[in-house]
A and B are shown apart, each in its own frame.
Chain A
């Protein structure tokens, strides 16, 4: 069974640009979450999508957005990039068992560097 696939693995962007990251969940998983990992802030929750609807949102500015397609694939977009957006962005897909009994499977991440 294929795991969570994130593309691209590495990205270098310039301040002010925008970027789109992609995540293909494990087949059958309908919940997709995104996390930002930085040395200073650790792992922080960005947002979660389930059946094409955003169900949860973390404390990030509106420059960070996402969406989910009918096949459960998800994209996240960051507009007007800042140096502080440099991070490892992780996607996780879940088979939600009983509402909260989540078992999240992570992709390898996309390493974004903003210069």
Chain B
């Protein structure tokens, strides 16, 4: 079946540190891949996406590359800020499944000043 596995949190970093949140997936065919962010008390916001192998999604300093060989979509940021503190969700949409997101468990990021 289709599934997403994310690294366990919480991840605690100091401001300006480098961030990596690992995400691997299992899917039939080639899904579209997404990172969503959820701030406290809010819904989810799309952070970035990639729809085919080797695509790199990027937004607000965050990047993730669709790696078909390793079935991964790791989220990275070179220098985190306190305002990046949130829960990050990796997700996929199976090819042909239209609007049905399958989410990972989420990773809580806490950035300390």
Contacts and interface: CB of A to CB of B under 8 A. Distances in A.
Dominant secondary structure at the A interface: strand
Q: How large is the interface on B (under 10, 10 to 19, 20 to 34, 35 or more residues)?
A: 20 to 34
Contact of B46 (A50, A104, A109): A104
Interface stretch (B10-18, B62-70, B88-96): B88-96
A92 B101 contact: yes
B49 A45 contact: no
A33 B108 CA distance: 24
Interface string A49-63: 010000110100000
Of residues A31, A56, A106, A108, which shows the largest number of chain B Cβ atoms within 10 Å of its Cβ? A106
A28 interface: no
B98 A99 contact: yes
Given A42-B106, A106-B44, A107-B43, A55 B98 contact: yes
A24 interface: no
Contacts of A50: 98-99
B46 A100 contact: no
Interface string A24-49: 00000001010100000011010010
7 contacts: A31-B99, A35-B103, A42-B106, A56-B99, A100-B95, A104-B101, A108-B42
Interface of B: 31-32, 34, 36, 41-46, 49, 51, 89, 93-106
